[in-house]
Amino acid sequence: MAFTVAIVGRPNVGKSTLFNRLVRRRAALVDNTPGVTRDRREGDAHLGDLAFRVIDTAGLDAGDADSLTGRMQRQTETAIAGADLVLLVIDARAGVTPIDEHFARSIRRTHRRVVLIANKCEGAAGDAGLIDAFSLGLGEPVAISAEHNEGMADLYRAVADVAPDEEASPNDGQDGPLQLAIVGRPNVGKSTLVNRLIGEDRLLTGPEPGITRDSISVEWTVSGRTIQLVDTAGLRRKARVQGKLEKLSAADTQRSIDYAEAVAVIIDATVGPERQDLAIAGSVVEEGRALIIAANKWDLVANSAERERQIWDRLSISLPQVKGVPLVRLSALTGAGVGDLLPAVLRAHRLWTSRLDTGPLNRWLASAAQRHPPPSPSGRRIRLRYITQAKTRPPTFALFASRTEAIPDAYVRFLVNDLRAVFDLPGVPIRLHLRKGGNPYAPKR
């Protein structure tokens, strides 16, 4: 099991900046607004030759148990309970605050190994706060500047004193997990669905829209298959996105789609697919990812047969380029139908990575051209010479033909739809690129 380090502290002391520094990428959202991080985020960290699992947590703050702040606090407490080492971060420029003192006492009671981090120590502005940090009774503080990459050697020595020598890099020598992004509009039940899938309250949920602000990755192993679930912030229409933080959240969600292999678009079954749902699904198809539509809150639908017909009609009109996209009817709250999601994801992923042999492809091309010949603009015939699969993820084909510039888009759509039907590729994006020239595999004259 990987050595685990939890980063904790009050809001806006630079925890997410340190997290990004350790994982060597901008994984967590960073902004001057306090309380940007709400869920705990995990990542594979590297510090010199040390490799470990690091957890970014919400800012420690006081609040009622049932409030959003209280639920965030429980997430942080869970991270501390499962960590081998806790990094308590304070803002050296602000000095030690009563909140820092309160949570230092709380962490000492957990009997976890703690390293005190005095962040923002660039220049001389943090000298006074660095000295004050000794008063917390957690030993000598490590002075760093996560933003400016200062003090990382001292942090390395502090972590190395605790980390086991034989610790190997996470996932060393193993195949990567299937990347599955969960996306949709705000408050459609994305986080509730992820919690239901993994069987624990891993992500913050509640009636407040927009609880999830940045994409949270959770590893899930089921039936021997490892899935990297990525819960994302809700996407609103671009015209309604307001403020820097919401723009950062939307960009983070789009980045999760870009890096995913399969994407489950969650819609609210009680209202059916709305324009924004279809826009999100369209962006998934445009990126060439395997698409699954999950209709959540199906337990609240009065006339399920009528609602299913409405959803299919809307999908057939708005997403004709992925005809036959899988539709999963479920309730994340009760668990009904949730078991149907993974088989649909695995089948869509299998089709997304499928490769077709060249022989059957060219026999299909000859048959399609005979059944529906390409048009002959200006009386000049277009010859469809050869087709081959160029790559997978998604299935991409190169069609060699004469006068490719004269082939209308409608005929290309016919070829794609016929290819999908003949080779049983429902719901998967298909790319068909036209190339001018003869058979590239034919013997040269």
For range 140-165, the mean pLDDT: 87
What SS3 class is residue 361?
helix
User: Does a cis peptide bond (omega within 30 degrees of 0) precede residue 394?
Assistant: yes
Residue 296: per-residue pLDDT: 96
What are the E-state strand segments in 210-273? Answer: 216-222, 225-231, 262-268
Counting every residue, how long is the chain? Answer: 445
Give per-residue pLDDT as tens, 55-100. Answer: 888 766 655 555 666 667 777 788 888 889 999 999 999 889 988 8
Per-residue pLDDT for 28 more than 70?
Answer: no
Give per-residue pLDDT as tens, 206-244. Answer: 566 556 656 777 888 887 889 999 988 778 777 666 666
Report, in angstroms and rounded to the nearest whole number, the Rg of the chain calculated over CA atoms. 26
Identify the band that residue 172 occupies on the pLDDT scale cut at 50, 70 and 90: very low
Identify the band that residue 253 occupies on the pLDDT scale cut at 50, 70 and 90: confident
Chain Cα centroid distance, residue 141: 35
Residue 445: per-residue pLDDT: 60
Burial class of 365 by CB neighbour count within 10 A (0 to 12, 13 to 18, 19+): buried
For range 372-386, the mean pLDDT: 87
**Mean pLDDT comparison of 195-209, 321-335, 425-439, highest-scoring range:** 321-335
Report the half-sphere exposure of 337 (CA within 13 A, side-chain side).
15
Domains along the chain with CATH numbers = 4-160 (3.40.50.300), 178-352 (3.40.50.300), 358-436 (3.30.300.20)
Per-residue pLDDT for 173 more than 50?
Answer: no
Own/partner pairs for 273-277, CB < 8 Å, 24+ apart? 273/311, 273/314, 273/315, 273/318, 274/185, 275/237, 276/185, 276/235, 276/236, 276/237, 277/184, 277/185
Per-residue pLDDT for 292 more than 70?
Answer: yes
Identify the band that residue 3 occupies on the pLDDT scale cut at 50, 70 and 90: confident
Per-residue pLDDT for 312 more than 90?
Answer: yes
Higher pLDDT, 6 or 212: 6
For range 182-194, the mean pLDDT: 90
Residue 171: per-residue pLDDT: 45
Residue 38: per-residue pLDDT: 56
CA-nearest of 344, 250, 244, 354 to 294 is: 344
Residue 174: per-residue pLDDT: 44
- pTM here is 0.69
Residue 294: per-residue pLDDT: 96
**Two tokens at 187?**
């408050």
Identify the band that residue 298 occupies on the pLDDT scale cut at 50, 70 and 90: very high
Per-residue pLDDT for 147 more than 80?
Answer: yes
What are the E-state strand segments in 232-296? Answer: 262-268, 290-296
Q: Say how far apart CA 113 and CA 138 lie, in whole Å.
A: 10
